[in-house]
Amino acid sequence: MYVCTREAVKVPKAQARDLETMADSGSEDLAVIENTDMTPSESENNLRNTMVEKGTSLLKKMEISVAEAEKRTGKNTVNMQETYTVYLIETRPVDAASEGNNSVPDSLWRRYSEFELLRNYLLVTYPFVVVPPLPEKRAEFVWHKLSADNMDPDFVERRRVGLENFLLRVASHPVLSNDKIFYSFLTEENGWKETVFETGFQAKADSRLKALNAIFRVKNPDKRFAEMKHYGDELQSVISQLLRVRARAADRLYGVYKVHGNYGRVFSEWSAIEKEMGDGLQSAGHHMDAYAASVDDILEEEEHYADQLKEYLFYADALRAVCRKHELIQYEMEMAAQDLISKKQQREELVTGTVRTFSLKGMTSKLFGQETPEQRDAKLKMLETQIEEGEDLVKDKNTECEEFVKSAWVDIDRFKEQKDHDLREALISYAIMQISMCKKGIQVWNNAKECFSKM
Amino acid sequence: MSTGGTPRSLPSSGQKSLQDISHPLSAEEAVRSCSPDILNTNSTGEKDLSLPNGTPVDTSSPASSSSLLNRLQLDDDLDGETRDLFVTVDDPKKHVSTMETYITYRVCTKTSRTEFDLPEYSVRRRYQDFDWLRNKLEDSQPTHLIPPLPEKFVMKGVVDRFSEEFVETRRKALDKFLKRVADHPVLSFNEHFNAFLSAKDLNKRQGLALLTKMGESVKYVTGGYKLRMRPVEFAAMSEYLDVFTQKLGTLDRIAQRIIKEQSEYLMELREYGPVYSSWASFEGELHEPLEGVAGCVSNCSSALDELTEDMSEEFLPVLREYVLYIESMKNVLKKRDQVQAEYETKLEAVVFREDKKTPVPTDVEKCQDRVECFNADLKADWDRWQNNKRQDFRQLLMGMADKNIQYYEKCLAAWESLILQLQDKQEAKCETN
């Protein structure tokens, strides 16, 4: 069994609750999962432990969780009544927890839009980081039973888990965890929004956004980044497809299990007219009912797997964003270099008097006479200043680009490793889910078979 | 046992010797169904029994003693040691002639019964021959429940009469039919059954059978006697059959629905697995687990395909065949009603006409005997039928459970081996870290 925890970290309250519900769902007929198997929540726990053991300074001193969700009603910005959900963020100093001291944690309530604001801030402030994604805003890839309603309790619960996951991801990131705005998001309920706006990130956001949406061509595309972007595209496409087909398959599987419930009914009715066969039929019918009912838990667990895939679906987007930002920086750098070259050329022409490049000014001066020496000197001086500035700009842009490439690539490597590890864990836990489902199936049918044998 | 020598072919008495079987007139045997007259007639060898239409009853063993023997049969579950007649149907072959194309089946018999000249037989028969046999049995043993045959007619263009699945389903049903006849203590001694199993050529008798069958059925349909009161037990049987038919219908529908849902699920799985493969194609570290999952999904798909096929080909046909069996039973109940109705009508006529104390005319007496013997035979056959039904369904449902268990076991094996494969790697990694 894979257990790679080196630090015993107290399981956050919400996580503990998850484990409890896992155990409780093992009702009557369900097979006991052997000790050698890992339950899906154990696998998830391992995920968190791996995050924690990365040992960011933030996580070393504080425990973070999104403990609860609540419905609120209030007036929105256009003074209309609205219902929304708020989430309780709890933080607790690590020392207090490990001492077994059940001290009351610090807590504050935040709504989804505030999480979005935080993330946007991080995106703009750390463009070279593959920023962890938020859980989806609206339920997508639903199969028929799942409600697409944001107020649905199951959706809210899964979102709570997703938000907690987001916070832990940020808190375990070597760069993002040190951000002050993030820290105050966790600790300061009032006035946080104002603090974020004060950073002026929105101005940067707007211009960056415009630039990113613009179509531009880079002369010498960086091969590595191009490959990464392509990878991001493919990852997004394949996970979308996977989630779509999985949802359809879940729908069908639900149908298969539920129809077996009809056996329960007909066996019961049939047993009424039988003498010797009656008991066997009746009890077999109960097992068929249990079988039909078991699919609800099975599919709920699978949603958990779907959520893990979704996280990386959105991560793919974040990865592409980093590549796009790099392209932008490179483009700006190329533009700056090109601008400098043309300025230098202009200077040369002015000095030597030869016109190499076509310019309107050149034509007009040819037509309407040349400029005076004073005019020429003034122009030359201006050009020199511009060239100086241009050279500084090119140097800055070069540095910016180099630094971006360096840090981005560090983060991309970190992301790759995380992705490989997490998805591998997710696939293993998916296999474990399937094993559990098979074992339950075998047990139910064995029970039914025994009842039939007594007919 | 009887003074005039034993009836021509006494069925195997199993482990008990004839001496140990109690005398039919002894106190233990409640000989309610047959009047003393009949027994006397039998012991002198006279065969006075006849069908309402006058055709002499062709009995290898008299109806009354057959019912007694039925009740004497202590254990219907004949095990290999007590059984002395084994029949199988196999080896379907297609025959093409200028006139027609048809399938023949090999019918193998192994027996130690003296009624057969040889201990082993192997003949080829086609469906027509089975149909002939069934008609003959119905004619000659009208008071008994004859097992059903699979449907005779299939819609051309809808079902391929020569497809492997159809032929195999039919073969199984024909095999079951002969086995049920062979296991019946009375029917198995029928001379037509003997001929069917042993004769080289059956052709000559077919024409006569058709006529006989038609004549009889017409008579029964237009018999027109009204039944006064059906005895409680037969009314209960009829009611049971009605409800049972209903439940079977529901069962059939449910099974079909499950097969449909499973097929649609299978379709999705067939699309689902390959997505993991295409993902694996552009991953490095994740290539192995992704391909592994694709492989597992593929294995599960195959297992599901097998399950669905099994249910279609083995479960549903047996279920449907039972509907035919119920129809046969209902027909026998109807015949019984007819016989009783005829008796009651005749009796009524006699009672009305009587002003002097004249003995009841013999044909009314014979009617009464007919009724009582029919009732006895029917009850015995009903019990056997119920028992067979219980065993058949027990086997059928256990088989269904087994198939589902096998499906899950196959899936389980696939996923477990993947886990082993992946967790080994993980542990190795952990150690090196």
B348-362 pLDDT, tens per residue?
777 777 665 666 677
**How far apart, in Å, are the Cα atoms of A6 and each of A12, A37, A224, B108, B172?**
17, 20, 35, 72, 63
**Surface of A (259-288) touching B: CB under 8 A:** 259-260, 262-263, 266, 269-270, 273, 276-277, 280, 284
| A25 has a pLDDT exceeding 50 | no
Task: Say what the pLDDT of residue A202 is.
Answer: 81
Here the ipTM equals 0.82
Task: Say what the pLDDT of residue A197 is.
Answer: 87
Question: Residue A63 in 3-state DSSP?
Answer: strand
Q: How far is A253 from chain B (nearest CA, A)?
A: 6
Strands A106-111 and A81-93: antiparallel
Q: How far is A313 from chain B (nearest CA, A)?
A: 13
Q: Please count the residues of chain A.
A: 455
Of A155-159, A166-170, B34-38, B220-224, the one with minimum mean pLDDT is B34-38
Q: What percent of chain A has pLDDT over 90?
A: 45
Among the partner residues A238, A420, A445, nearest to B405 by beta-carbon distance: A445
| A432's tokens | 């474990």
| B65 has a pLDDT exceeding 70 | no
Kindly report, residue by residue over B253-263, the tens digit of the pLDDT: 999 999 999 99
Check: CB of residue B239 under 8 Å from CB of residue A205. no
Q: Distance from first CA to last CA of chain B, Å, rounded?
A: 91
d(CA A89, CA A70): 12
User: For residues A147-161, b (16+ Cβ closer than 10 Å) or e, as one string?
Assistant: eeeeeeeebbebbbb
Task: Say what the pLDDT of residue B277 is.
Answer: 96
d(CA A443, CA A451): 12
Q: Distance from first CA to last CA of chain A, Å, rounded?
A: 42
Kindly report, residue by residue over A265-289, the tens digit of the pLDDT: 999 999 999 988 899 999 999 999 9
| B308's tokens | 């669905």
- pLDDT band with cut points at 50, 70 and 90 for residue B60: very low
Selected for mutation to probe chain A from B404, B407, B418, B431 (highest A CB count within 10 Å) is: B404
Q: How many CB atoms lie under 10 A from the CB of residue B29?
A: 14
The mean pLDDT value of chain A amounts to 82
- pLDDT band with cut points at 50, 70 and 90 for residue B242: very high
Check: CB of residue A36 under 8 Å from CB of residue A411. no
Task: Say what the pLDDT of residue B357 is.
Answer: 62
Task: Say what the pLDDT of residue A256 is.
Answer: 95
Q: Which residues of A touch B315 (CB under 8 A)?
A: none
Among the partner residues A234, A242, A252, nearest to B261 by beta-carbon distance: A252
Q: Sort B12 into a burial class: Cβ within 10 Å, 0-12 / 13-18 / 19+.
A: middle
User: For residues A5-40, b (16+ Cβ closer than 10 Å) or e, as one string?
Assistant: eeeebebbbbbeebeeebeeeeeebbbebeeeebbb
Task: Say what the pLDDT of residue A155 is.
Answer: 84
Q: Which residues of B touch A435 (CB under 8 A)?
A: 412, 415-416, 419
- Position with higher pLDDT, A158 vs A36: A158
- pLDDT band with cut points at 50, 70 and 90 for residue A377: confident
Report CB contact under 8 Å: A249, B286. no
| B181 has a pLDDT exceeding 90 | yes
Task: Say what the pLDDT of residue A65 is.
Answer: 87
Specify the pTM.
Answer: 0.75
- pLDDT band with cut points at 50, 70 and 90 for residue B268: very high
Report CB contact under 8 Å: A266, B412. no
d(CA A83, CA A412): 39
Check: CB of residue A29 under 8 Å from CB of residue A444. yes
- Position with higher pLDDT, A25 vs B226: B226
- pLDDT band with cut points at 50, 70 and 90 for residue B98: confident
Q: How far is A405 from chain B (nearest CA, A)?
A: 23
| A210 has a pLDDT exceeding 80 | no
Query: Would an 8 Å CB–CB cutoff place A389 in contact with chain B?
Result: no
Of A182-191, B205-214, B298-307, B365-374, highest mean pLDDT: B298-307
- pLDDT band with cut points at 50, 70 and 90 for residue B157: low
Task: Say what the pLDDT of residue B62 is.
Answer: 42
d(CA B107, CA B178): 9
Which phi and psi (to 5°) does residue A252 adopt? -65, -40
Task: Say what the pLDDT of residue A295 is.
Answer: 94
SS (H, E, C) chain B: CCCCCCCCCCCCCCCCCHHHCCCCCCCCCCCCCCCHHHHHHHHCCCCCCECCCCCECCCCCCHHHHHHHHHHCCCCCCCCCCCCEEEEEEEEEEEECCCCEEEEEEEEEEECCCCCCCCEEEEEEEHHHHHHHHHHHHHHCCCCCCCCCCCCCCCECCECCCCHHHHHHHHHHHHHHHHHHHHCCCHHHCHHHHHHHHCCCCHHHHHHHHHHHHHHHHHHHCCCCCCCCCCHHHHHHHHHHHHHHHHHHHHHHHHHHHHHHHHHHHHHHHHHHHHHHHHHCCCCCCHHHHHHHHHHHHHHHHHHHHHHHHHHHHHHHHHHHHHHHHHHHHHHHHHHHHHHHHHHHHHHHHHHHCCCCCCCCHHHHHHHHHHHHHHHHHHHHHHHHHHHHHHHHHHHHHHHHHHHHHHHHHHHHHHHHHHHHHHHHHHHHHHHC
- Position with higher pLDDT, B73 vs A62: A62
Task: Say what the pLDDT of residue A417 is.
Answer: 94
Of A193-207, A349-363, B17-31, B381-395, highest mean pLDDT: B381-395
Q: What is the mean pLDDT of residues A41-56?
A: 59
Task: Say what the pLDDT of residue A146 is.
Answer: 62
Among the partner residues B244, B265, B419, nearest to A431 by beta-carbon distance: B419
Of the candidates B422, B186, B120, the one whose C-alpha atom is nearest the C-alpha of residue B285 is B422
Report CB contact under 8 Å: A427, B292. yes
Q: Which DSSP category does A172 fall into?
A: T
Task: Say what the pLDDT of residue A414 is.
Answer: 94
Report CB contact under 8 Å: B416, A435. yes
Report CB contact under 8 Å: B250, A266. yes
Task: Say what the pLDDT of residue A263 is.
Answer: 93
Task: Say what the pLDDT of residue B292 is.
Answer: 95
What residue in B sits closest to A416 (Cα-Cα)? B285
Selected for mutation to probe chain A from B238, B270, B275, B305 (highest A CB count within 10 Å) is: B275
Query: Would an 8 Å CB–CB cutoff place A30 in contact with chain B?
Result: no
Of A208-212, B11-15, B111-115, the one with minimum mean pLDDT is B11-15
- Position with higher pLDDT, A318 vs A206: A318
Task: Say what the pLDDT of residue B220 is.
Answer: 43
Q: Please count the residues of chain B.
A: 433
Containing H/E element for A67? strand A62-75
Question: Residue A75 in 3-state DSSP?
Answer: strand
Of A353-357, A397-401, B209-213, highest mean pLDDT: A397-401
| A309's tokens | 């895939």
Task: Say what the pLDDT of residue A290 is.
Answer: 95
Q: What is the mean pLDDT of residues A35-49?
A: 54
d(CA A437, CA B412): 9
**Vertex A129 angle, CA A128 and A131, to 5°:** 140
Q: How far is A311 from chain B (nearest CA, A)?
A: 16
Which phi and psi (to 5°) does residue B36 adopt? -55, -30
Helix axes B287-310, B232-280, angle to 10 degrees: 160
Q: How far is B318 from chain A (nearest CA, A)?
A: 17
Q: What percent of chain B has pLDDT over 90?
A: 37
| B221 has a pLDDT exceeding 50 | no
Q: Which residues of B touch A431 (CB under 8 A)?
A: 293, 296, 415, 418-419, 422
Q: What percent of chain A has pLDDT over 70?
A: 78
Task: Say what the pLDDT of residue B219 is.
Answer: 40
Task: Say what the pLDDT of residue A366 is.
Answer: 61
Cβ-Cβ contacts under 8 Å for B151 (sequence gap 6 or more):
B324
Task: Say what the pLDDT of residue A135 is.
Answer: 92
Q: Which DSSP category does A77 fall into?
A: T
Kindly report, residue by residue over A129-184, the tens digit of the pLDDT: 999 999 988 888 877 666 667 777 888 888 999 999 999 999 999 999 999 999 99
- pLDDT band with cut points at 50, 70 and 90 for residue A370: low
Of the candidates B231, B241, B239, B236, the one whose C-alpha atom is nearest the C-alpha of residue B341 is B231
Q: What is the mean pLDDT of residues B54-82?
A: 46
d(CA B209, CA A190): 100
Fill in the amino acid letter for B174: L
Cβ-Cβ contacts under 8 Å for A435 (sequence gap 6 or more):
A37, B412, B415, B416, B419
The mean pLDDT value of chain B amounts to 77
